[in-house]
Amino acid sequence: MFYKLKGYPHICSRCQKLDAIFIAFICWDLIADGLQSC
């Protein structure tokens, strides 16, 4: 997944919803930085 490739920790291996939220935060952060990577 995106956060694994970027070296971010996996919050909950059994909680896909939390994973999705975590990815969303990372994507939002990148977009805020102007990278538009998502």
What are the boundaries of each domain within the chain? Answer: 2-32
Q: Is the pLDDT of residue 26 over 60?
A: yes
For the segment 2-27, the average pLDDT, to the nearest whole number, is 62
Token pair for 21: 């939220």
Q: Is the pLDDT of residue 1 over 50?
A: no
Token pair for 17: 């919803």
Q: Is the pLDDT of residue 18 over 60?
A: yes
Residue owning tokens 């291996």: 13
% of the chain at pLDDT higher than 70: 42
Q: Is the pLDDT of residue 3 over 60?
A: no
Token pair for 11: 């919050």
27 touches 33 (CB < 8 A): no
User: Sorting pLDDT into bands at 50, 70 and 90, what band is 36?
Assistant: low
